[in-house]
Amino acid sequence: MSGEKEIKVGLLGLGTVGTGVAKLIEGHQEDLIKQTGNRITIQKILVQDKDKKREISIDKQLVTDDPWEVLKDSEIDVIIEVMGNIHPTYEYLMFALEKGKHVVTANKDLMALHGAELLAMASEHHCDLYYEASVAGGIPIIRALVEGFASDRITKVVGIVNGTTNYILSKMSEEGLPFDEVLVKAQELGYAEADPTSDVEGYDAARKMAILSNLAFHMDVNVHDVEVKGITKVTEEDIRFGKQLGYEIKLLGIAKQNDNLLEVSIQPTMVNKHHPLAKVSGVYNAIYVYGEAVGETMFYGPGAGQLPTATAVVSDLVTVIKQMNLGVNGRGVVAPYRPKQLKSDDLITSRYFIRLRVLDQIGVLAKITQHMAEHMISLQEILQLPDTEEQKAQLILITHETSKAQLNKFLALMEKLEIIDQISSVYPVEEGEIA
């Protein structure tokens, strides 16, 4: 096709994802033209360091370190933001939207914190703001929630939403590799955030769970509503003992809504080895969505990395262009319309894996189980193993469903007992409804 209208894009960032976006726009141009009727041109690219050696050859004239050269360019129709961070990114995108430019972003930090303001600004100026790449890289989960399940009422979203930590836990479990070594590899592969603390401490996944919960439950969920625990304290023993009892440890996001009461968390979880989530390995992500009408659905795919993430970004761009051609930009945003109320700890329930180091004495087990009974915690399974220290033993308890409030009271008591040397770890257990 020739003579098609050109759509000009301003690219903020030319790192892992930005490079993938440039590659796809160039490499898939003919298909993109067929789908949109438009030729897509990258007009300008913002970077920090203009002299940095780049993975792809780019016309030097396009590259700038002056944000205003991109943001104030009146020929640019769409800004693609893949530079990350909250500031100055927030200010740049607010400016772009105010000037009537459509925005596509992969930035979950920004969307989880300022999504509502950005979407309001987009709506006010009849602009699109799409952010599919911000959750689960190449999996079109946002589109599924917003469009695919628009007619249903979602009750639960459970999944693995961080590629870096899933890669680390998989390598630790499958190959026995140490945490630090695998983290370096994840950074080299471009999976980890610029500061990998946000991956390993669970903040990245918490932001993604906030975004998903917002869209799934139509509540104004923000990152502060998410209970967060990362993987830095997961030990080789937890992985080994978990396996002995038939579990794999996964950093699992859980968002559940019952009677308009919400719980959202991200934490290392013992997942039954027969549950499909236990088999999600490497950088892959997987998300279960449960709807009242649809029942159970599962989405699976690469959660990070250059081309998977770029696919989501460029697909958003295609949507924006199609809407430009129809003149319907900025109309798709549905603001949260249900009041948000978070569950108290007595309404949050789970099974739990508790690993204790105890004194290896007669009557220890009886005392512990007696305290469990007093706290209305019922035992599902127990495993006692020798400890590396003499006269100590490792005790692993798997509970039946119990409330977080009861569990915390029980653990507080355990801490005070002389027969308990250490509470080594506590993880929720996900058996899965289809295990």
Ligand X SMILES: N[C@@H](CC=O)C(=O)O
Binding residues (CB under 6 A) for ligand NDP: these are 13-18, 46-49, 52, 82-85, 88, 106-108, 133, 137, 190-191, 193-194, 304-305, 309
Residue choice 137, 202, 301, 308 for contact with ligand X (CB under 6 A): 137
Query: Which of the residues 101, 171, 208, 404 is marked catalytic?
Result: 208
332 is in an annotated binding site: no
Q: Does 280 bind ligand X (CB under 6 A)?
A: no
Nearer to ligand NDP, 133 or 252 (CB): 133
19 in a known ligand binding site: yes
Residue 269 annotated as binding site: no
Residue of the chain from 163, 308, 330, 428 that contacts ligand X (CB under 6 A): 163
CA distance 405 to 130: 39
Bond into 336 cis (ω within 30): no
Q: How far is the CB of 133 from ligand X (least distance, A)?
A: 8
Helix axes 306-326, 16-27, angle to 10 degrees: 60
List phi, psi (to 5°) of 99: -85, 5
Closest residue to ligand X, based on beta-carbon distance: 164
Q: Which residues pair with 289 in a beta bridge?
A: 157, 297
- Give yes or no for a contact between 135 and 145, defined as CB atoms under 8 angstroms apart: no
Measured CA to CA, the distance from residue 300 to residue 167 in angstroms comes to 15
The response to whether 432 counts as a known ligand-binding position is: no
> Roughly what angle, to the nearest 10 degrees, separates helices 364-374 and 404-416?
140
Nearer to ligand NDP, 50 or 153 (CB): 50
Residue type, 53: K
By beta-carbon proximity to ligand X, the closer residue of 199 and 238 is 199
Judged by CB under 6 A, the residue of 303, 308, 330, 428 near ligand X is: 303
Q: Give phi and psi for 253, each to the nearest 5.
A: -95, 135
* Min dist. Cβ of residue 150 to ligand NDP (A): 24
Active site residue 208: yes
Under the binding rule (CB under 6 A), the answer on residue 291 touching ligand X is no
| Residue whose token pair is 């007595």 | 346
Pair of tokens at residue 14: 């030319």
Q: Given the rule CB under 6 A, which of 90-98, 145-153, 159-167, 410-418 is the region that contacts ligand X?
A: 159-167
Instruction: Name every residue whose Cβ is closer than 8 Å to that of residue 330 and which is 6 or more positions away in sequence.
Output: 122, 123, 125, 126, 127, 128
Which pair of structure tokens corresponds to residue 202?
């669970």
**257 is a contact residue toward ligand X (CB under 6 A):** no
Say which residues have a Cβ less than 8 Å from residue 92's Cβ, sequence separation at least 6: 12, 67, 71, 79, 81
- Is residue 81 within the footprint of ligand X (CB under 6 A)? no
Q: Cα(266)–Cα(254) distance, rounded to whole angstroms? A: 6
Q: Of 67 and 291, which CB lies nearer to ligand NDP in the complex structure?
A: 67
Which of 81, 201, 204, 238 binds ligand X (CB under 6 A)? It is 204
Consult the annotation and say whether 17 binds a ligand. Answer: yes
DSSP 8-class letter at 305: S
- Work out which of 128, 132, 199, 225 binds ligand X, going by CB under 6 A: 199
How many of the other CB atoms lie within 10 Å of CB of 167? 25
Q: Which of residues 165-194 bind ligand X (CB under 6 A)?
A: 191-193
Beta bridge partners of 258: 261
Least separation in angstroms between residue 14's CB and ligand NDP is 4
Binding site per annotation, positions for NADP(+):
12-19
Binding site per annotation, positions:
12-19, 108, 193
Q: Which residues are catalytic?
A: 208
Binding site per annotation, positions for NADPH:
108
Q: Which residue ranges make up the site for ligand X (CB under 6 A)? A: 137, 162-164, 191-193, 199, 204, 303-304
